[in-house]
Amino acid sequence: MSVFSAFLGFLFNLFEPVFRLGQRWLGASRIGWLFVGPNLVIISIFTFLPIVVNLVYAVTGGVNLLPTQRPFTGLENFAILLECRDYADLQTCRTDIFWRSIANTVKFSLIQVALMVFFSLVTALVLNRKIIGRGFWRGVFFYPVLLSPVVVALIWKWLLQNQGVFNAGLVAMGGSPMDWLLDRHWAFFWVIVVSIWAHMGFYTLILLAGLQAIPRDVYEAAEMDAAPPWRVLTRITLPLLMPNLIVVLVLVMIRAVQSFDEVFVLTGGGPGSATTFIVQYIYQTGFAEQIHLYGLAAAASLILAAGLMALTLAQLRLSKAGEAGKIKK
């Protein structure tokens, strides 16, 4: 403990003179700049500057990392990514893997949103009942949220091994073992399952909080109003939960579109490119291939950014609409 406080004392003494000086220079209120300084510097260098530079990458080509050494190519990168002779047949695209990653991402996100919201809602409704040890059960569903995506992927990879426990069950039921992750459809299936397993608890928590905010006497009034359980659910609980549902919907969607870590470790994007999503495409193009195609990666990021912005705007509009009918307590 004393080592800790010695360390703190050291830090304190380290910075104090800097701030005393700053205080004299800047005066009482502008000293605030000194405090917010470090944070501001970091986000400027690592967030705002990159946003601007991203645009430079998107409109330049070549293989150099330094923007100054990259030839200007205009919208060529976008053309490479987006052009297809026949949009119905992805094979005709100049960069069919890009389109495929977009298609995979969209398909994954839509299915994920539906299932994730469903399971989170059901779990939240169950947890909202009067059960013993609610805190414990809540923790049970929340635990996987804390695990790192790599760990999550490995846990499931182990379960899905050819000699693994799932195949053992399959054999016990009379089937024969299969390489789950080497089959296009099963791999996609498991990616969805793993994703829901790993994140459901978080959204359950949000929905549970929303459910618990509904006052009890509204349910009692409904009881006096002879409302059958089905009507209580559809006409009272769900409408009052709607703002939270919308928030969860959008959060899930935004996260789903950016899925990378678990999927990458679980399937590597395979088999083939069956489970390659857009972020993996960006990573591969910009960093993993033999030649780092920074321009394409940047262009793809901008397209992703546009998509995310659209989603965020949709969220804002949806929650504004929700506000109109929302309860102000």
Helix (H, G, I), strand (E, B) or coil at 80: helix
Q: Does 174 bind other proteins (CB under 8 A)?
A: no
Q: Does 72 bind other proteins (CB under 8 A)?
A: no
Instruction: Tokens for 63, please give them.
Output: 């293989």
Q: Which of 2, 47, 176, 290 binds other proteins (CB under 8 A)?
A: 47
Handedness of CA 62, 67, 69, 75 (dihedral sign): positive
Instruction: Tokens for 121, please give them.
Output: 């809602």
How far is CA 244 from its chain centroid?
17
Instruction: Tokens for 328, please give them.
Output: 């102000």
Nearer to other proteins, 86 or 135 (CB): 135
- Other Cβ atoms within 10 Å of 119 Cβ, number: 16
Q: Which of 258, 271, 314, 318 binds other proteins (CB under 8 A)?
A: 258
Nearer to other proteins, 80 or 279 (CB): 279
Distance CA 234, CA 219 (A): 13
Site string for other proteins, 79-118 (x = CB under 8 A): ----------------------------------------
* Footprint on residues 6-45 left by other proteins (CB under 8 A): 11-12, 15-16, 18-20, 23, 28-40, 42-43, 45
Q: Does 215 bind other proteins (CB under 8 A)?
A: yes
Distance CA 22, CA 191 (A): 53
Q: Does 171 bind other proteins (CB under 8 A)?
A: yes
What is the dihedral angle through the alpha carbons of 176, 180, 182, 186, rounded to the nearest 10 degrees? 120
Q: Does 269 bind other proteins (CB under 8 A)?
A: no
Q: Which of 6, 25, 63, 65 binds other proteins (CB under 8 A)?
A: 65
Q: Which of 164, 178, 186, 189 binds other proteins (CB under 8 A)?
A: 164
Contact (Cβ atoms closer than 8 angstroms) between residue 179 and residue 117: no
Site string for other proteins, 135-154 (x = CB under 8 A): x-xxxxxxxx-xxxxxx--x
